[in-house]
Structure 1
Amino acid sequence: MAAHGRKVVPRQLPTAGVPATGTFGMSNPMPNHRAAREAADSDADMGGPGLAASASATAAHAAAAGSSSSSAAAAAASSAAGAAAAAPDVSHPEQVRQVLHVEWDSASGTFKGLPAAWGGVLPPGVSTHEVQDSSLPGGAAAAPGTREALAKAKEDAYSLWISTPYDVKRVHHVTVDPATATIQGLPDSWAAMLASSGISKEQVAAHPQQVLRALRTHMEGPVPALPTRASYERTVTEASIITPGDPRHIFAAEKQIGAGASGTVFLASDTRTGERVAIKMARASQLSSLKYEIALQKMSAHPAIVRLREAYLCTDWLWLVMEYVPGGTLTETLGPTIDFPEPCIACVCKELASALAHMHRKGLLHRDLKSDNVLVSFEGETKLADFGFAAGLVREKMHRTTVCGTHAWMAPEVVNGEAYDGKADVWSLGITLLECADGVPPYLDLPPLKAMLAITTADPPKLASPERWSKEFNHFLRSCLQREPKKRPSAEQLLMHPFVRKACSKAEFATFASYILRARGKT
């Protein structure tokens, strides 16, 4: 059986975890894989993990089995039609570096206020000064027809490293109402400052970008610069503090829900509050190498990133008490008979781009974005997980060079061992969205070495059937998958792309994703 020229291997549905008895226990010591990785990491002086591309992770991803029943396919098609009919949900800017005012003029059918520099990231044939209504079809595109695609399994569906709230800031969606020449959505303190500033409505209407930029600089100060190496290390130390106490007296185990080389994950309940949590247990000997994973994920706290509540050190074990996300991985919503509706892909895209924009503003890189490391809840939430390869940038080192990640999702500059920054995550985002559409990432059926050669020498990957998807989605992927990093837009710029406007609501995405997950035994 083949799909889009790739070999397809059937995938078995995930099996349920083995229930525990109310207490936590571990049988065999786990090897310190992270320490072994760091020994070969050229960035070890900053604590950033490094690793040659992992063939084993990809082999598990490609190993496969099973397909959904006809009823599941019918339900997926039905939910896709519902999502297609719904009005897309507009994204909220996260930690915006520079405020741009772009508005839709219904009278002329154009977007006003697009910077000239955005010409390179607009759909082909579209002016840099306006986007014609004909270039942006109304409504969501209908879901493509059923197609066979390589279904992927994974070794450790719940192997994730998750963060606790750290340096959290509330996000506000600010717009300018041209009818009243006022700025809508400002925090109360900002609105009061603007009202007392002496700036007139005429000035707001004539120069909205400049007004917002000046207001933000006055209220928040300039965009933060990268920290120094010493400051970065102090922040890491503060963010990786272990919570005192004995977790065995606080949490009651329900069942094991995941196991892998890096640890075992249990579903448990907090006896103080009754809240359900996921607890990952690893050998205490791994604490020094896990310090950066814990800290960097705390430093990346964001609604679209799973969070770490607490970390305990008990006898010989490290306990990571994490937010429990009932559902599964994004990987588990893909399959040979499942079509991912475009509005749902845009919904996933909006959340992941928002998470990356937040991280990149803080000088942090994820470096292993793929469907296995994205959690999808029954409520339609999309959350980035697993910070095993995350790293930070500092003033003394504004790029990284360590080759790490999973080969099918790696950017060309990472494969080549060249200096890279957040644009490498943008490439991985593009591959992940392409995977949602086609059911499989490019080159997954190739040996890792041959795949990495293709990433650096072949034309950038494209959709298997571009004509089945909107021009906005095609253009979004082309933008993410530019071979030259400088030609790729940033995650913040991607949040303003027309494709993101096609996103369905979380409720609509939940209808699609939850049916697929439950059909595959997720509860």
Structure 2
Amino acid sequence: MSLEEPLKLVSQLFEEHLKSDTNATPETFDPSSSFLDILETRRDQIISFNDAHAQQIPKNTLVRFRCMIQDTGLGQEMLVSAYETRNEDGTTKLCCYRYTDDPIELHEHRVPEDYLLERTLVYCVSPPGENQWTKEAYDVYNGSLEDQLNYLSIEDDKNPNIAKKYPLPGKKHTSAIVKFYNGMDESIRVGQLVEVIGIRGQDLQQEEEANNEYELESPLHSFSNTPVLHAIAFKNLNHSTPLKAYEAASNYSVEQLRYDLVEYIASVLGGDKLAAEFVLLQLLSRVTTKINGLKIGHLTINLNGFPFYKSTKENESVLFSSTNPVSQPLIDVLENLTVHSVNLPLTIQGLNQSKFTPKCVSESLEAGVLQLVDGTMLLVDETVLDEGQLQDAGVRNFQALQTLIQTQTLGYEFPYSQYDFDTDISVLSISSNKSILPNHCSVLLKPTNPLEDSKQDMLKLSKEQLEQFRRFIHTAKHASYDIPEQVSEYIQESFVNERKKATDTKSELPTQEELMLRMSLARLAAVSFGENTLSKERYDYVVELDNQRLFKQKKKLQDNTMVISWPFEAIHKTHIHLDINTGELSLTNGWESTRGESSNQQDILLSSFVKRIYAEFEMIPPPPPIPSQPSLLPLPQKAILHKYMTTIEASRALSKLCREEDPHQYYADMTKIGEGASGSVYKAYAIQKEHTVVAIKQIHLRRQSRKDLIVEEVRMGQEKPFHDNLVKHIESFLWKHDVWIVMEYMEGGSLTDVVIHNCMTEKEIAAICLELLKALDYLHSRGVIHRDIKSDNILIGPQGQIKLSDFGYCAQIDKIRSKRTTLAGTLCWMAPEIVQCKEYGPNVDIWSLGITAIEMVEGSPPHLENPQQAIQLLKTHHTPPSLKNPEQLSPYFRDFLSQCLQFNAEDRPTAHDLLQHPFLSDAAPLCSLLPLIENTKNQITMDDEFCL
């Protein structure tokens, strides 16, 4: 099978496809599996975009491109995927017209609908931070020497639009517009690392010269000279390595390899093996579990004790160029051991003049410094932090870095909203004193050799030795892990005994956070020794490791009791002045002379600023067993296509449910009364029905990742029978890619506002619970689970009516499918069986009702400020949430809550049974809620006036 003419190969596969099945059509043709086989078995015969100058690669050449998905918002193109040719004998032949930009002449004016397809345009860039050894391992092309010389990159593109779309300013890179076919775009996301195999297309400049009689707007207009690649197939490379998994040789044990690796890291840390141990554990950490935005498994470490480096005009800090010679050897080691790594010198200039988060400008997503591929090692160097004024952009960048460390999410700025995307970036910070960034644990560096000699002390290793280290790190990072029951009990007993001992000796008690940290370190230490099961001995090893770390820190504090080198322990309010409006930092006159003599001046200058924006970071407990090394191949195509709806699929489904007209023709005086991530809510008047007030929810369909939920909400709104306790759905519109859902207007607002601004009596709470149970009894009797009961979704009418709204998460059950397993709902209200990913039924709504009742008592649901604690309690302790002052409630109310919050779903009563509970028999009339509504409106008005 020749690779020199890939279009002929595509045509051959197309003909075989049509012959294979009488029902085969051009639309069902998918050659991706054949080309993935080529990529696996003959990759050395395929030219790579990564090491060749794309402009010198001929059109219609088979190429591969290892890249990061930078921007998925360039739009779609319609294309004719096949056409008929007429032979001399009068017969016709169907030909494939995919993966090319060559012009053709169509003899038929009318093209059959199933010949028309849609392809998605995506902007891709070479992986930011990809280390040199990774490039060499991936890009092996066995073409002729003449070919390799011809394909060398000889110049960089000066297009400013292209420069703005690469995360690392000033770094050389390759970019391309990749055109995805067959719905492949549904399985990619921004920030994802993929390898694409496809055919080199015709770049924009050539297209305009060849087709200048057409004046069609194209999203490529801003990217002249950017190469085009028609993607035939791709594979996911997230958390992958170009090397094979590590297999220990009989004469080279895991313990010996680990020992040598620690020695190698310690050689650039002044011989400090304890600090090297923690760096190794950092290298093995990753996000292993994601639950409703909560990330578990990653570890962020700070190494402090590096010398401060004062920048001068001659060596002024440039972003991503290390200016501290002492930190360079550590950077070199990380580059030698990791697939992707980025050095981020944290300077005032860098914070003020760069952009850390991606931002959409003129329909193009400009990259941010932190838009990196998963698994990247980010080294943040605080030793170069200098004096100066932190401007608004600098504060935003600092907060973005802080958020990334705390939640492993990165915000993407769009014109009307911001969306958070999941990341998995390993962050290691180095500083002179205590870090200004949050971290899981801080390690004080105690070198036995001068750090200034680290470059000379760095061990010189062979290529084979380094490859052993890389294989070992990757294999251990993705190894499975388990904690036996007896070891779990041993850990609990050890912690209790440690606290008892501390009480007897009147020393500081070990905290829950320290236990959680040790549990995470234990997982990483176990896999670093090649163990998939935690043992008592390995846990004791970690405890000793952590005790040594704490001992060094305490000793440093004792040695510095008479100096001001730890401003984080006490805020020197008389020493520092901060202008809140300008961000200007300065010292008082009395301390101006001391500033020049202090070796810790950067800590003094920034301590007040840090106190203002620093957020305490809580350590997350270790995750459950994680899967082994992930597959590099994507899911089967059929599974991918229907995982989430595309905009086109959603529009087709909604067109059958909605009126495709402008809602402004039927509703006037639209006034915005609310706004969220999905869109806006308006109050309006029906034109044809005078004085009829409605609420209209506008949803931007293109911006929704789960378009299926929008379709489900519209469908449920139309199909659900009318009930007094359900918000009435009037009609829906689909207009200009926006969905407009028209509902009855509930003048009293949401229950959330009432809860926030009022103290409610038991009778008022009982009245609301009674109405909600009527709604749930009605839904459950018809096989509908709401799955998102909370105060936000409970609306109040002008006469105190209580109605349930928001049916996007609803699920239908029947005799065939009586249970559900999908993770859905809002975290703090979520039933334990959903959190534990078990099968569940309608009684999950009963649990959420109990949480809502607690919300009405205490003003907020349990664990609202710390949702991960709610998850841990439900997953590990099997403990339902408790009231702060249960003795203040009546026995009937306590029993009602107890029944709603039974941990075992089978023990919870149905909505129908709960309607008979004695707590509800004393419910207040709905009109008694009117004073609460009035007070809420007054309070909101006063708050608005105060803000103005």
TM-score, scaled to structure 2: 0.30
Determine which structure has greater relative contact order: mean sequence separation of CA pairs < 8 Å that are 6+ residues apart, divided by chain length. Answer: 1
Q: CA deviation at 1:265?
A: 1.4
Contact kept, 8 Å, 1:343 with 1:504, in 2: the verdict is yes
Q: CA deviation at 1:298?
A: 3.3
Partner SS for 1:326: coil
Match for 1:294: what amino acid? V
1:414 maps to what in 2? 834
1:376-395 counterparts in 2 under 5 A? 376-395=796-815
Contact kept, 8 Å, 1:400 with 1:420, in 2: the verdict is yes
1:367 maps to what in 2? 787
CA distance, structure 1, for counterparts of residue 819 and residue 874 of structure 2: 21
1:400 maps to what in 2? 820
Match for 1:315: what amino acid? K
Larger radius of gyration, structure 1 or 2?
2
Match for 1:500: what amino acid? L
Q: CA deviation at 1:238?
A: 11
Matched, 1:295 2:715: yes
CA distance, structure 2, for counterparts of residue 303 and residue 239 of structure 1: 28
Contact kept, 8 Å, 1:328 with 1:377, in 2: the verdict is yes
> What does the per-residue CA deviation read over 1:415-435, in whole Å, with 9 as the maximum and x for residues that have no partner?
000000011110000000011
Tell me which of 677, 682, 703 is aligned to 1:266.
682
Partner SS for 1:266: strand
Match for 2:858: what amino acid? D
2:932 maps to what in 1? 512
Partner SS for 1:319: strand
CA distance, structure 1, for counterparts of residue 660 and residue 865 of structure 2: 47
1:334 maps to what in 2? 755
CA distance, structure 2, for counterparts of residue 390 and residue 313 of structure 1: 21
Q: CA deviation at 1:519?
A: 2.3
Match for 1:328: what amino acid? G
Q: CA deviation at 1:394?
A: 2.9
1:280 maps to what in 2? 697
1:247 maps to what in 2? 663
CA distance, structure 2, for counterparts of residue 518 and residue 377 of structure 1: 17
CA distance, structure 2, for counterparts of residue 254 and residue 317 of structure 1: 16
Contact kept, 8 Å, 1:296 with 1:391, in 2: the verdict is no
Partner SS for 1:520: helix
Q: CA deviation at 1:351?
A: 0.9
Identity among equivalent pairs (%): 35
Judged with a 3 Å threshold, the aligned counterparts in structure 2 of structure 1 residues 453 and 329 are, in CA distance, closer, same or farther, namely: same
Contact kept, 8 Å, 1:375 with 1:385, in 2: the verdict is yes
Tell me which of 278, 282, 292 is aligned to 1:53.
292
CA distance, structure 2, for counterparts of residue 505 and residue 247 of structure 1: 37
Judged with a 3 Å threshold, the aligned counterparts in structure 2 of structure 1 residues 242 and 278 are, in CA distance, closer, same or farther, namely: same
CA distance, structure 2, for counterparts of residue 514 and residue 256 of structure 1: 21
Contact kept, 8 Å, 2:709 with 2:809, in 1: the verdict is no
Contact kept, 8 Å, 1:240 with 1:294, in 2: the verdict is no
Partner SS for 2:848: helix
1:475 maps to what in 2? 895
Judged with a 3 Å threshold, the aligned counterparts in structure 2 of structure 1 residues 289 and 463 are, in CA distance, closer, same or farther, namely: closer
Match for 1:53: what amino acid? N
Q: CA deviation at 1:503?
A: 0.9
More strand by share: 2
1:129-278 counterparts in 2 under 5 A? 241-243=657-659, 245-274=661-690, 275-278=692-695
> What does the per-residue CA deviation read over 1:484-520, in whole Å, with 9 as the maximum and x for residues that have no partner?
1111100111111111111111111222333223322
> What does the per-residue CA deviation read over 1:382-435, in whole Å, with 9 as the maximum and x for residues that have no partner?
111112211111333210011221111111111000000011110000000011
1:319 maps to what in 2? 740
Contact kept, 8 Å, 2:785 with 2:812, in 1: the verdict is yes
Q: CA deviation at 1:270?
A: 0.5
> What does the per-residue CA deviation read over 1:182-219, in whole Å, with 9 as the maximum and x for residues that have no partner?
xxxxxxxxxxxxxxxxxxxxxxxxxxxxxxxxxxxxxx
CA distance, structure 2, for counterparts of residue 510 and residue 298 of structure 1: 30
Contact kept, 8 Å, 2:682 with 2:695, in 1: the verdict is yes
2:623 maps to what in 1? none
> What does the per-residue CA deviation read over 1:290-344, in whole Å, with 9 as the maximum and x for residues that have no partner?
2211122333342111121001122332221111111221111123x73211111
Contact kept, 8 Å, 1:426 with 1:488, in 2: the verdict is yes
Match for 1:464: what amino acid? K
Judged with a 3 Å threshold, the aligned counterparts in structure 2 of structure 1 residues 339 and 468 are, in CA distance, closer, same or farther, namely: same
Match for 2:731: what amino acid? E
Judged with a 3 Å threshold, the aligned counterparts in structure 2 of structure 1 residues 455 and 478 are, in CA distance, closer, same or farther, namely: same
1:304 maps to what in 2? 725
CA distance, structure 1, for counterparts of residue 791 and residue 294 of structure 2: 16
2:641 maps to what in 1? none
Q: Note the aligned Cα RMSD (angstroms).
A: 3.1
Contact kept, 8 Å, 2:655 with 2:734, in 1: the verdict is no
CA distance, structure 2, for counterparts of residue 463 and residue 271 of structure 1: 49
Contact kept, 8 Å, 1:308 with 1:323, in 2: the verdict is yes
Structure 2: segments with no counterpart, 5+ residues: 1-72, 75-185, 189-289, 296-406, 408-652
Match for 1:477: what amino acid? L
Q: CA deviation at 1:476?
A: 0.4
Partner SS for 2:898: helix
1:438-477 counterparts in 2 under 5 A? 438-446=858-866, 448-456=867-875, 457-477=877-897
Contact kept, 8 Å, 2:654 with 2:734, in 1: the verdict is no
TM-score, scaled to structure 1: 0.53
CA distance, structure 1, for counterparts of residue 762 and residue 856 of structure 2: 9
CA distance, structure 1, for counterparts of residue 731 and residue 758 of structure 2: 37
Q: CA deviation at 1:255?
A: 1.2
CA distance, structure 2, for counterparts of residue 407 and residue 297 of structure 1: 24
Contact kept, 8 Å, 1:52 with 1:405, in 2: the verdict is no
1:355 maps to what in 2? 775
Judged with a 3 Å threshold, the aligned counterparts in structure 2 of structure 1 residues 344 and 379 are, in CA distance, closer, same or farther, namely: same
Match for 1:242: what amino acid? C
CA distance, structure 1, for counterparts of residue 772 and residue 924 of structure 2: 14
> What does the per-residue CA deviation read over 1:71-96, in whole Å, with 9 as the maximum and x for residues that have no partner?
xxxxxxxxxxxxxxxxxxxxxxxxxx
Match for 2:751: what amino acid? L
Size of the aligned set, in residue pairs, is 298
Contact kept, 8 Å, 2:709 with 2:808, in 1: the verdict is no
CA distance, structure 1, for counterparts of residue 903 and residue 859 of structure 2: 23
> What does the per-residue CA deviation read over 1:43-64, in whole Å, with 9 as the maximum and x for residues that have no partner?
xxxxxxxx952569xx9xxxxx
Contact kept, 8 Å, 2:832 with 2:874, in 1: the verdict is yes
1:172 maps to what in 2? none
CA distance, structure 2, for counterparts of residue 379 and residue 521 of structure 1: 20
Partner SS for 2:742: strand
Contact kept, 8 Å, 1:240 with 1:295, in 2: the verdict is no
Structure 1: segments with no counterpart, 5+ residues: 1-27, 30-37, 41-50, 60-236
- Please identify, of 361-370 and 246-255, the stretch whose mean Cα deviation from structure 2 is larger: 246-255
Judged with a 3 Å threshold, the aligned counterparts in structure 2 of structure 1 residues 52 and 39 are, in CA distance, closer, same or farther, namely: farther
Judged with a 3 Å threshold, the aligned counterparts in structure 2 of structure 1 residues 272 and 367 are, in CA distance, closer, same or farther, namely: same
Judged with a 3 Å threshold, the aligned counterparts in structure 2 of structure 1 residues 39 and 464 are, in CA distance, closer, same or farther, namely: farther
> What does the per-residue CA deviation read over 1:104-162, in whole Å, with 9 as the maximum and x for residues that have no partner?
xxxxxxxxxxxxxxxxxxxxxxxxxxxxxxxxxxxxxxxxxxxxxxxxxxxxxxxxxxx
